[in-house]
Amino acid sequence: MEEPQGDGWLSNRGGALSSSALLSFSHPHVAVGASRGTRGYPTVEEPWDGGHSVGVSHCSLFQGRLYNFQDTEKSDPPMDPLLLSTLKNTCPRDAILDNTAILDQGTVGNSTIVGNTYYQEILMRKSILQLDQELALHPSTNNTVKSTAMGDKFSNHSGQAMVKLGAAQLNADAGHSDSKN
């Protein structure tokens, strides 16, 4: 992936204070567009912020999809059956340890790669988190997910969307300090 070129916004707050209590991000069960559209971040751009394409998730964040989706005592119907079986092995119902699963199943073995495999996987119903699966299924984001999965739009659009998302959050915060690079 190429380095971003040109002018951009930088936050001077980076690294000033680290605390998990200060984190502000969408809960994995929030509906598509529920929080971002209200901050000047269009729902149609939501897939380009990278979704949950990097890293891992603890089983406790998505176990409901495996064993008791929406209090039905069944699995989430859209989930790919092979992924469901794999996740049930990784995340047993009565597990003592809160195991983890790689969020982008297309990069198993390297959970630090950012790219369009995430979009390909969610189109195949292989999403770990419900919110990510909804990106592929929701009418306002489905076409964006499809075009990103099939092409090389991800690099440019993802960077632009992340800048917008960061700016929307910074503008919502009181007492921030930004500088134009």
Closest among 43, 38, 13 to 141, alpha carbons compared:
43
Question: Domain 28-171 maps to which CATH number in 2.40.50.100, 1.10.3720.10, 1.10.420.10, 3.30.980.20?
Answer: 1.10.420.10
Q: Tell me how far the alpha carbon of residue 155 is from its chain's centroid.
A: 15
Range in 54-58, 111-115, 135-139, 166-170 the model is least confident about? 166-170
| Residue ranges per structural domain of the chain | 28-171
d(CA 48, CA 176): 25
140: its two tokens? 């306002």
d(CA 76, CA 42): 27
Per-residue model confidence as pLDDT tens digits over 44-71: 455 544 466 677 899 999 999 999 999 9
d(CA 63, CA 31): 18
Closest among 170, 175, 174 to 41, alpha carbons compared:
170
90 annotated ligand binder: no
pTM across the whole model: 0.62
Closest among 114, 108, 113 to 128, alpha carbons compared:
108
27 annotated ligand binder: no
- Beta carbons of 159 and 48 less than 8 angstroms apart: no
Q: What is the pLDDT of residue 55?
A: 78
Confidence band for 80, pLDDT divided at 50, 70 and 90: very high
d(CA 161, CA 84): 31
Per-residue model confidence as pLDDT tens digits over 114-129: 677 888 888 999 999 8
